[in-house]
Amino acid sequence: MASNITSQLNKIKSLPILYQGLIAAVLPILFIALFIFFIFMPKNEELAALNKSIEKLDKDIAISESKIMKLDDLIAENKMLQAKLATLKEQLPEEKEVSVLLKQISELGQTSGLEILLWKPQNKKTEPSGLYVEIPVNVEVLAEYHKLGDFYSHISRLPRLVNISDIKLIADT
């Protein structure tokens, strides 16, 4: 086998120098081409894909960091809104407290000097959003104008929401 290789080398040495140079150049060029096509180009494509992935992750990190910066503000705003909601809920009586509220309003009318002629609660109406229940009450009173104003003043100081509507004032002659 060693003699076979030696004979091949002797054949190459007997070729003209131009052919010897081409043979010497073809082998490294062939190795370089194989390296480029099978190792370098696939790794280069993989590297480009990884760089794109890194850019996307960097953008996601930047977005997440900006959200983190806002998180403390949002938590504080949420606490403030929860407190405000609790305060507003206190103004709306729960259904079990409605009878107590109606009794309280009746007592305020009596302490203001109103003579209550009619006190007739109507059917309750639930507001479409479900936030509150409206319980209309038909009331007829006999009172002086200033005593009626005193009654309204007492109503306005209640911690609960009470709306007075459809008022008809008739002068006593």
Asked if pLDDT for residue 58 goes beyond 80, the answer is yes
Query: What is the pTM assigned to this prediction?
Result: 0.46
Question: DSSP code of 129?
Answer: T
Q: How far apart are CA 110 and CA 83, in angstroms?
A: 35
Give percent of the chain above pLDDT 70.
91
20-24, 34-38, 39-43, 61-65: range with lowest mean pLDDT: 20-24
pLDDT score recorded for residue 96: 63
In the chain, the N- to C-terminal Cα span, in Å, equals: 142
Asked if pLDDT for residue 1 goes beyond 90, the answer is no
